[in-house]
Structure 1
Amino acid sequence: MTDAPPFTPLPDNAAYVGAVQLAVDANAAYYGAGESPLDDDAYDRLFRGIQAYEAEHPDEVLPDSPTGKVAGGAVVGDVPHTVPMLSLDNVFSAEQLARWIAGLERRLGRPVQAYSVEPKLDGLAISARYHGGKLVQLVTRGDGTAGEDVSHGIGTIVGLPLELAEPVTVEIRGEVLMTSEQFDAACAKRQAHDGTTFANPRSASAGTLRAKDRPYTCELTFFGYSALPLPPDDASELAIRLRELPHSEIMELVAALGVATTAATPVAGIVVSTVEQIQERVEELKAARAELPFGIDGIVIKADSAADQVEAGFGTRVPRWAIAYKLPATEKITKLLDVEWGVGRTGIIAPRAVLEPVELDGSRVTYATLHNPADIARRGLKLGDSVMVYKAGDVIPRVEAPVVHLRTGDESEIPIPEVCPNCGSEIDRSQERWRCVKGRGCRAVASVLYAAGRDQLDIETLAESRIVQMLEAGLIVDFADLFTLTREQILDLDRMGETSTDKLLAAIEQAKTRPLSRVFCALGVRGTGRSMSRRMARHFATMDAILAADSEGIQAVEGMGPEKATLMLAELVELLPLIDKLRAAGVNMTEPGVTPPAPGAAAGVTAGAATGAEAGAGAAGGGDGDGDGDAEVPGAEGAPIPAVELPLTGKTVVVTGSMTGKLADLTRNEMNELIEQAGGKSSSSVSAKTSLLVAGEKAGSKRTKAESLGVEVITPDEFATVVAAFL
């Protein structure tokens, strides 16, 4: 991140005057109906451009300029604030943050006692006033001095209780926003009524909070970030505590009253004492950002001590003891130029948005996902639309929605394909995700290449060009045919000598021995990836048991709902010829170390597991499905064999950071397989249910959260010792 944030240069007074008017209009639109012509990043750049011009031309500053006003000059309300509701100044880099901290400590004449570090929530600031523990009024920030009464929203905001845990009189300030789930529901309601969707959760929250006449109600979420005495000169015990407690303890008090705070989220506020610790937490929150169910656009750093805050004081529009470390934008408005239609390895037809290039979260975005034709229809997208595009971290960019109020009338309908874009065959439109009627046959190269991949059958040396040769020569039509190839057939291919042929044949032979979890994954069942394939294999133990299961039996697998189970059953019927070819070729159809349900048992009964040594010897183990290892299953001769508890039985394990030592060469998928072979459950996120965190090099926010929750944290070497029998 550069030290100087980018801004929109203003070359002369005319440009400056126009920029101020644009900023004023954008604020009025956003704080009115929630429909600004600018995205958040574009407004920030404009605002900084105005600041830069005013710094060079102080005699030309306009009275309407947003730079000297709270919230840039938001719509003024008629409800006075008990205490001014100010904005925060921004920094954009570690260097700027260090300078701000140094400036604060110079102002105090001593080091700051401690800093509170919290997420900057991407929503709308409001004040919630409680009298005798009952919520009586909601007020927006407005211009910082007075705000708009939005008490009609009482009862529609999750996290803002109608009654506190104690009958106190207090003002809670915080942020109103929409979670991803709430935003999707709001868009569906809006489209059902007027055919349009909200541009993004932030504008949806702003518009919804003020809406009084809508024929539908949209749910919002609140997170508190401060509490004040009500009235300001209140002399009650609570008021005295609110004036004297550190910010971090005030937030504990707010949570104890029953108001939601970020303490229960992956980005909880923490207290630190050094610049290095602040920057470390900033990096952790940046890393967690993409996985959050709500938006954050920065990190707020505050002097935690009430005494430090009082001594530092306030400026005209910002407190001097707090700063917002802004993160790169994850959302921007750009143009939808075209829609391209591709076909995946299973024959799924997927649209892709072609965009006017835009910089998002540090990368240049030209394409974004559109999911399927139904998604296009739901969002009401048109070619030429201004669209809101989202991207964070490694998340694939996606088109959120059209910015309907920016339409010019020149937009046009998106052409929908009548036949398969790849082969010209008919399209199966029975599901939301359309599919070529030829299925996997439409993209045979991609299907075979996927099956041969490292996390599936792991057939080394089988490159895409070789697969194309085999398909064109008629040697294969699917990946099962690889197992019946002869040495002579392969030698006849271009640029295949004896050594390379023997290596490929050896790799194919080795692929026959892969566990069922990998074979099942290689089938490429729609909606079923590596994790679900492992769960299926550990649950059923054999391909025969999977094929014999009904919908209820499939749903007994964790993560399998009725819709997924129905789709899987239909897929398995389609894949039966391929499975039969694999079986005939001698490909393994069992999961080592797992015992299938006894004959006549319900298909949904979870299989038990044997130790790695027993699995290798072909011995049977068993369990009753809950992982406690106290069940017995029939042995080869019908006698019961006690189940053996595995080292990770009943434990949920999360892996983070770079692995070292004996685990250094394992992919994350192979680590997950290792966890499950040892009886555990692999997970990608830390929660109160996590039993163990394996923290490698550069472990970040997950380690911090695990430690805060009291989760056991071990090194890769320590974990290697625990699962030594499975390495």
Structure 2
Amino acid sequence: MEGMTNSAVVLADHASYAAAVEEAAQAAAAYYATGESTLDDDSYDRLARGIAAYEREHPQEVLPASPTGKVAGGAAVGDVPHTVPMLSLDNVFSAEQFATWTASLERRIGRPVTAWSVEPKLDGLAVAARYHEGRLERLITRGDGTAGEDVSHASGTVVGLPARLAEPVTIEIRGEILMTTEQFEQANTVRTEHGGAPFANARNGAAGTLRAKDRAYTVEMTFFAYGALPLPESGALAAELTELPHSQVLARVAKLGVHTAADTEVAPRTAATVEEVQARIEEVAALRAALPFGIDGIVIKADLAADQRDAGSGSRAPRWAIAYKLPAVEKVTRLLGVEWNVGRTGIIAPRAVLEPVEIDGSTVSYATLHNPADITRRDLRVGDHVMVYKAGDIIPRIEAPVAHLRTGDEQPIAFPEACPQCGSEIDSSEQRWRCVRGRDCRIVASVSYAAGRDQLDIEGLGTTRVVQLVDAGLVTDFADLFMLEREQLLTLDRMGETSTDNLLAAIDTARSQPLSRVFCALGVRGTGRSMSRRIARYFAEMDRIRAAGEEELQRVDGIGKEKAAGVVAELAELAPLIDKLVAAGVNMTEPGATPPPPPGEEAEGETAAGTEGAPLAGMTVVVTGAMTGALEKLSRNQMNELVERAGGKSSSSVSKRTTLLVAGEKAGSKRTKAEELGVRIATPEEFAEMVGDFLPVDA
């Protein structure tokens, strides 16, 4: 959990304190009124912590407008009273702070807490849904905690919040409304089509959408329940909800047909000890980047009803629950300019140049912008304040401009009129622009990619050596590598007899690489390592791939109509290169694969040719952790190749469709999820025995 922070803005005197209070109040008011704010979450949190620290040192100077101790910073409004106050949560930012909080809680209740509930802190808006005899009657925002705003008009656009429950019970269900990543992208598409500015992020999108009335369009949101409480007319259900552990309350809510986080990668879990809680916190933090919705922390609650009653609540937050905040993955910064870079296939990709900003423990100075159409759709301008998102190892991206911060000095982004790399014309017929010279525009990048470890794996052929070969006129594409002669190489700088012989030996070894790697080396757009393996396993021979039409290509798992058309077009463009490879004696078959049956004769449910009778036929396999024994030296890509040679389908995530998990050392959350789903788990040694005939010779 490195990178955690609880840093605060340092306020030196009353004037700076008063200015901070005013800034926090304005930011909170803007957020709770329209979903827009002048501050990102992390900046607001740092400001609020600085205000609280100053007030602890100068209690006599506390201003009435201070956000300290108030739900929603005291800014939210509403006229629908809550049956029970709808409180916020206090925060911790490290394992040490969390341990201190748990010790304080146990002192307060006079006994150890033996059951904890650990669940994601969803990055949305808290709401209360009131049901009467199973029918949804009212949807209310949290507001200031005592009263909220009636947003029942929006309930029909919220997935996971049924109009009728599975039972005719009277109950209030509390939870979070948010936009998933997919819903956010769709919302911005619809919004910009109707002339609106795109939302800066998913949270603001949900806030604005929930309150909007009389729009000419609708967008979808998602509800996640995090609790429930009885209403005056709840009857026997009231006693049940009052005595059940929190985890069982969530299970009861799910049975009523309401959406919870139970079916997600970060499903709520119970833990018996603080150590188990901390382990789960680290698991959830590691999963954050891959989630289809935003979280900004983990909520830990005393699970037992008796512990919650004895702990009680303060004016702002319950004493039996805490939010363990994760490092911010969103920040507001300025767009200083746009660079246009040309990739190995000739794709011209825009990259945002940013005013450097600290996000999730690293300094971000650049972000992806996808394509020119995306820039136009988001109405980005140089000088804009932009919301930048970064999570895990994902390349930072710009969500949208923060339009309400515009000053009028922002300038349109200039699109290139010619290829920035070679000056040739640009093919702008598709969303992703491309130099008309294609791969010839970036020969060095194309050849270096083909020679890489996961493609042809030519040892000793780094970028510097490729540049040397290209500059000498010896290589115009990667097929020329297989035609290099010893005398030619010996004339180059820093190429003695030993290094020349080693390079030629590595190139000769690459001739026998399987078809899947050769196909991957071609760099066909829309395919990568996994798709190249599937195509090679299905067709078995390069000639059959080249002869396949769009319809036959769609029989390969993961290839749809659009991708099939792209592959056919790319292979036609690459025909001269493939012919050169064949002439150079490069292998064009996939070991262990057999050609597919003629169209119309494929067995129902079959997704790859040549897998019948193989040890992993029909199985979806996930590999995680460090391999040992016979598999120790295999990279993750080589493990995936092994899975598919043995007839299986490799996957990167555990789900209900997973057949087998190969769990090495430090398998982590994937092993936990496999155990929960009842997925078969094998050690590296057991797996090696299963696929023994398919292991590489040197394994």
Counterpart in the other structure of 1:228: 229
Match of 1:699 among 661, 667, 681: 667
Task: Give the letter aligned to residue 650 of structure 1.
Answer: G
Residues 365 and 2 of structure 1, relative CA distance in 2, 3 Å threshold = closer
Counterpart in the other structure of 2:273: 274
Specify the SS of the correspondent of 1:456: coil
> How do 1:403-422 and structure 2 match up within 5 A?
403-422=402-421
Specify the SS of the correspondent of 1:517: helix
Structure 1 unpaired stretches of 5+: 607-622, 634-642
Counterpart in the other structure of 1:5: 6
Match of 1:719 among 666, 687, 694: 687
Matched, 1:188 2:154: no
Matched, 1:517 2:516: yes
Distance in 1 between residues matched to 2:514 and 2:184, nearest whole Å: 41
Match of 2:606 among 626, 632, 638: 626
Task: Give the letter aligned to residue 470 of structure 2.
Answer: L
Counterpart in the other structure of 1:252: 251
Matched, 1:116 2:127: no
Distance in 2 between residues matched to 1:605 and 1:485, nearest whole Å: 44
Task: Give the letter aligned to residue 528 of structure 1.
Answer: T
Task: Give deviations 1:566-602, integer Å, cap 9, x for gaps.
Answer: 111111110000000001111111111111135xx12
Cα distance, 1:499 vs structure 2: 1.6
Counterpart in the other structure of 2:180: 179
Distance in 1 between residues matched to 2:338 and 2:234, nearest whole Å: 63
Cα distance, 1:714 vs structure 2: 2.2
Task: Give the letter aligned to residue 513 of structure 2.
Answer: R
Matched, 1:400 2:399: yes
Cα distance, 1:701 vs structure 2: 1.7
Contact 1:2 1:93 (C-alpha < 8 Å) held by counterparts: no
Counterpart in the other structure of 1:460: 459
Distance in 1 between residues matched to 2:75 and 2:251, nearest whole Å: 31
Per mean C-alpha deviation after superposition, the further-off stretch among 294-303 and 366-375 is 366-375
Contact 1:597 1:605 (C-alpha < 8 Å) held by counterparts: no
Distance in 2 between residues matched to 1:591 and 1:4, nearest whole Å: 51
> How do 1:464-543 and structure 2 match up within 5 A?
464-543=463-542
Per mean C-alpha deviation after superposition, the further-off stretch among 77-86 and 455-464 is 455-464
Distance in 1 between residues matched to 2:601 and 2:455, nearest whole Å: 26
Residues 314 and 248 of structure 1, relative CA distance in 2, 3 Å threshold = same
- TM-score by structure 1 length? 0.94
Distance in 1 between residues matched to 2:500 and 2:178, nearest whole Å: 60
> How do 1:577-656 and structure 2 match up within 5 A?
577-598=576-597, 601-602=598-599, 626=606, 645-656=613-624
Task: Give deviations 1:1-42, integer Å, cap 9, x for gaps.
Answer: 478611111111111111111111111111111111111111
Contact 2:534 2:608 (C-alpha < 8 Å) held by counterparts: no
Per mean C-alpha deviation after superposition, the further-off stretch among 539-548 and 4-13 is 4-13
Matched, 1:330 2:329: yes
Cα distance, 1:624 vs structure 2: 7.2
Cα distance, 1:680 vs structure 2: 1.0
Cα distance, 1:492 vs structure 2: 1.7
Identity of aligned residues (%): 69
Specify the SS of the correspondent of 2:519: helix
Match of 1:708 among 667, 676, 685: 676
Cα distance, 1:462 vs structure 2: 1.2
Cα distance, 1:717 vs structure 2: 2.1
Matched, 1:684 2:684: no
Counterpart in the other structure of 1:545: 544
Specify the SS of the correspondent of 1:405: helix
Task: Give deviations 1:266-290, integer Å, cap 9, x for gaps.
Answer: 1100000111111110110011100
Task: Give deviations 1:64-88, integer Å, cap 9, x for gaps.
Answer: 2111211211322000000000000
Specify the SS of the correspondent of 1:227: strand
Contact 2:3 2:360 (C-alpha < 8 Å) held by counterparts: no
Distance in 2 between residues matched to 1:665 and 1:87, nearest whole Å: 50
Distance in 2 between residues matched to 1:194 and 1:483, nearest whole Å: 55
Per mean C-alpha deviation after superposition, the further-off stretch among 670-679 and 166-175 is 670-679
Distance in 2 between residues matched to 1:396 and 1:539, nearest whole Å: 32
Specify the SS of the correspondent of 2:492: coil
Distance in 1 between residues matched to 2:692 and 2:97, nearest whole Å: 48
Task: Give deviations 1:511-557, integer Å, cap 9, x for gaps.
Answer: 11111100000000112110110011011111111111111111111
Residues 529 and 627 of structure 1, relative CA distance in 2, 3 Å threshold = closer
Per mean C-alpha deviation after superposition, the further-off stretch among 405-414 and 484-493 is 484-493
Task: Give deviations 1:329-380, integer Å, cap 9, x for gaps.
Answer: 0111001011111110111101111111111111111111111111111111
Specify the SS of the correspondent of 2:411: coil
Specify the SS of the correspondent of 1:566: helix
Task: Give deviations 1:669-697, integer Å, cap 9, x for gaps.
Answer: 11111111111111111111111112222
Contact 2:10 2:50 (C-alpha < 8 Å) held by counterparts: yes
- TM-score by structure 2 length? 0.97
Q: CA RMSD in A?
A: 1.5
Distance in 2 between residues matched to 1:597 and 1:75, nearest whole Å: 63
Contact 2:458 2:510 (C-alpha < 8 Å) held by counterparts: yes
Specify the SS of the correspondent of 2:526: coil
Distance in 2 between residues matched to 1:4 and 1:215, nearest whole Å: 43
